[in-house]
Structure 1
Amino acid sequence: MFHEQEEPVPKLSKRDILLTSFISGALAGVICDVTLFPLDTLKTRLQSQHGFFQSGGFRYLYKGIGPVVLGSAPSAAIFFITYEGIKQYSQPNIPNQYHSIIHMIAASSSEITACLIRVPVEVIKQRKQALLSDSHRLRLRTLYRGYGSTVLRDLPFGVIQMPLWEHFKFYWTQQIQRDCTPMEGATCGAASVAISAAITTPLDVAKTRIMLSSTSAEKEEVKISIMLKDVYRDHGFKGLFAGFFPRVTGFTMGGFIFFGVYEQAREFCLSYLS
């Protein structure tokens, strides 16, 4: 099990720490998603059941950026305020050797909560990225059709990513005998994200296909198990890892930017409030 780096008792109140996490997460989410949006578009088109070039190829790489700008901040902010909230209120009452379990529970809870905003944003974004023209406004049921598949993708992602991030930071802190700088924290974040992205690629393929399915598709047609079977039948094992390179590359770069901005903004906010 991973053990978390023991931090000194903060001088700030839990409320200030949560506010700091909220602001830092929002800022990190927007900067990361906007910067790496073209890579995300390529990944979506490589995974699309309509085909890469039919979905736009290398054209209009910023198609769908609008929903992302609006949705990134609240989604990332909710994730981190949930994650840090569970940590702040749980860890003081739990022995150190069980802190990795707290990280997993916090990551799982954060993903489920953040997906309430993330999923409809993803549906609109990916349909625009794949150049699908919806003649009518998407129904609420359609907007949340990928909720289950997104949670099934993001739960293992978060459960792998966050404890790894905490562990890498703890390990590096032990080696250098001081706290991690924002740059070092960003490097730890990039490593944890790369591993998580690689492992969960097949779930991301299924999620993308569900979100790009026809709005008239029946519920039975857009199950994650059905999508994975269809992909494997049509394209074999390789199809399950469609978009692997842009996904892992984008997520690794994104992890570095996201955690770097998060750590830097958090450090600034904490110093300002203290």
Structure 2
Amino acid sequence: MGPLTLAVDAKSCSTDAGDKRVQNLPLEIRKSFASVSMGEEKPFDFFRTVFEGVVAGGAAGVVVETALYPIDTIKTRLQAAHGGGKIVLKGLYSGLAGNIAGVLPASAIFVGVYEPTKQKLLKMVPENISAVAHLTAGAVGGLAASLVRVPTEVVKQRMQTGQFTSAPNAVRLIAANEGFKGLYAGYGSFLLRDLPFDAIQFCLYEQLRIGYKVAAKRDPSDPENAIIGTFAGALTGAITTPLDVIKTRLMVQGAANQYKGFFDCVQTIVRDEGPSALLKGIGPRVLWLGVGGTIFFGVLESTKRMLEQRRPKLHQNSKDE
């Protein structure tokens, strides 16, 4: 809670023999931009928070992936192409079903871990550095979800670049030709991209929402949450594009092992294609993540609110039974 300043009128404290009255003391609350105590603090329910995060995260992830998959496919093909390779615009939904099968649990895990971690950390850190809680919670959520997201991403990108025609086939052949570790190709580069991405995107989103709450003196509406999500997604996507290019190259190289690792991949791309190649696909990526941020955070917040609104009804029903 920020510092409290009591503005007291000296006359209001005067007393008479027959009537001792103290007028209402106006209370001015000064809050920093990073303050998070907007409204009455609710008790923390760990299991309900996890459950609602899982449902909201899963719903948001599936909606975004289904709506924007073609843009993601174009981005992947741009990044995977060496030199001036031609980009094929057919089969833009290749691998969607298999990808959703991975995105649903990955998104559910991310938000299911992020929400309780964020709420716990916000109780531990001072309000003026709440960004630390958001950054940390985003990274923790991303790390937990990576166990599902990486194999999903490997299979998706191999299918987007035409290496396989079905997700089950891709999993079977990758495991047979490259071993189980093939499903985690580029895991290190994925973490180097996604942990900063998750941390920065969710921190930006949360801090922008807090700033809006302070300025408007109310919670943002669903459309306003969506607009805030657009800025957070697009900006973070642009910043992390070079890491995304490296992750894509490592994931799609297969058993050829053209690159020996993260730093070898960077050196090879810069040497053979020039530094600008590290920004390949930045247009589709920013578009994808900007629009994706709009949809994801809009669906996420509306789903969370819907679940929260059901709480009193559930409690009331249990009392009536």
* TM-score range normalised by the length of the shorter chain: over 0.9
String of CA shifts for 1:164-204, please: whole Å, max 9, x gaps: 11111011112211111122111111101111100000000
CA contact under 8 A between 2:36 and 2:127: conserved in structure 1?
A: no
Whether 2:222 is the aligned partner of 1:182: answer yes
2:261 to 215, 219, 223: 223
CA contact under 8 A between 1:24 and 1:265: conserved in structure 2?
A: yes
Whether 2:42 is the aligned partner of 1:10: answer yes
Structure-1 residue corresponding to 2:24: none
Report the 3-state secondary structure (helix = DSSP H, G, I; strand = E; otherwise coil) of the residue aligned with 1:132: coil
Alignment of 1:31-180 (within 5 A): 31-49=63-81, 57-133=88-164, 136-138=173-175, 139-180=179-220
CA–CA separation in structure 1 for the residues paired with 2:272 and 2:96: 31
Structure-1 residue corresponding to 2:53: 21
Structure-2 residue corresponding to 1:244: 282
CA contact under 8 A between 1:46 and 1:52: conserved in structure 2?
A: no
Mark the CA change 1:235 to 1:2 in structure 2 (over 3 Å): closer, same or farther.
farther
Shift of 1:39: 0.2
Of the structure 1 ranges 133-142 and 195-204, higher mean CA displacement relative to structure 2 is found in: 133-142
Mark the CA change 1:225 to 1:2 in structure 2 (over 3 Å): closer, same or farther.
farther
Structure-1 residue corresponding to 2:297: 259
Of the structure 1 ranges 132-141 and 197-206, higher mean CA displacement relative to structure 2 is found in: 132-141
Shift of 1:147: 1.1
Shift of 1:93: 2.8
Structure-1 residue corresponding to 2:27: none
Structure-2 residue corresponding to 1:195: 235
CA–CA separation in structure 1 for the residues paired with 2:173 and 2:238: 36
CA–CA separation in structure 1 for the residues paired with 2:119 and 2:46: 7
| TM-score, scaled to structure 1 | 0.92
Structure-1 residue corresponding to 2:253: 213
CA contact under 8 A between 1:14 and 1:88: conserved in structure 2?
A: no
CA contact under 8 A between 1:4 and 1:166: conserved in structure 2?
A: no
CA–CA separation in structure 1 for the residues paired with 2:254 and 2:207: 42
CA–CA separation in structure 1 for the residues paired with 2:36 and 2:144: 26
String of CA shifts for 1:88-146, please: whole Å, max 9, x gaps: 22222322123211111111111111111000000000000000146934331000122
Of the structure 1 ranges 7-16 and 67-76, higher mean CA displacement relative to structure 2 is found in: 7-16
CA contact under 8 A between 2:135 and 2:203: conserved in structure 1?
A: yes
Shift of 1:5: 2.9
String of CA shifts for 1:52-95, please: whole Å, max 9, x gaps: 866x6101000111221101111111111111111222222322
Of the structure 1 ranges 236-245 and 37-46, higher mean CA displacement relative to structure 2 is found in: 236-245
Mark the CA change 1:110 to 1:52 in structure 2 (over 3 Å): closer, same or farther.
farther
Shift of 1:37: 0.2
Q: Which runs of 5+ in 1 are unaligned?
A: none
Q: Which has the larger radius of gyration?
A: 2
Report the 3-state secondary structure (helix = DSSP H, G, I; strand = E; otherwise coil) of the residue aligned with 2:255: coil
Shift of 1:6: 2.1
Number of equivalences: 271
CA contact under 8 A between 1:191 and 1:252: conserved in structure 2?
A: yes
Larger RCO (CA within 8 A; separation ≥ 6): 1
Shift of 1:10: 2.1
Of the structure 1 ranges 81-90 and 103-112, higher mean CA displacement relative to structure 2 is found in: 81-90
CA contact under 8 A between 1:103 and 1:163: conserved in structure 2?
A: yes
String of CA shifts for 1:196-252, please: whole Å, max 9, x gaps: 10000000000000011032428xx34111111111112212211000100000110
